[in-house]
Amino acid sequence: MTASDNKTIPDFFDENRMDPVSVATGRIASKSAAPKPAMPKRKAGFYFSETLLDRFNRKFHQLKLDGTPIPNKSALAEMALHFALDDMDRGDASQLLKRFDNPEVECT
């Protein structure tokens, strides 16, 4: 009998396997944390500055490490866009519209 005979082979089709992010962060991921979208979605393409994309990626990965149940970058972008549109719906009280009106603040 050799050492390789005692090794267990992982079952890649096991539905109860460990999530790598959960193992790395020490938190157990919930399958119900990310419900399937009820509405159909479309891919959208926009151009952003490298600085903004780097900041977005760093924030996404930090949220994952902090255990925030965010399924993917698209969900983060969609949530941020909802937040921004809701803020602009506030009219004169909108923080975003104030930034557009202030020429000293650079929006890149």
pLDDT digits (tens, 9 = 90+) for 38-78: 778 888 888 999 999 999 999 999 999 999 999 999 999 99
- For residue 42, the model assigns a pLDDT of 87
Angle at 91 between CA 93 and CA 108, to 5 degrees: 85
Q: Give residues with Cβ within 8 angstroms of 52, minimum separation 6.
A: 108
Taking the whole predicted model, whether its pTM rises above 0.75 is answered as no
15: pLDDT strictly greater than 90: no
pLDDT interval class at 79 (50, 70, 90): very high
Percent of the chain with pLDDT over 70: 67
Which residue do the tokens 């600085």 mark?
51
Whole-angstrom Cα distance, residue 10 to residue 17? 9
- For residue 76, the model assigns a pLDDT of 96
pLDDT interval class at 88 (50, 70, 90): very high
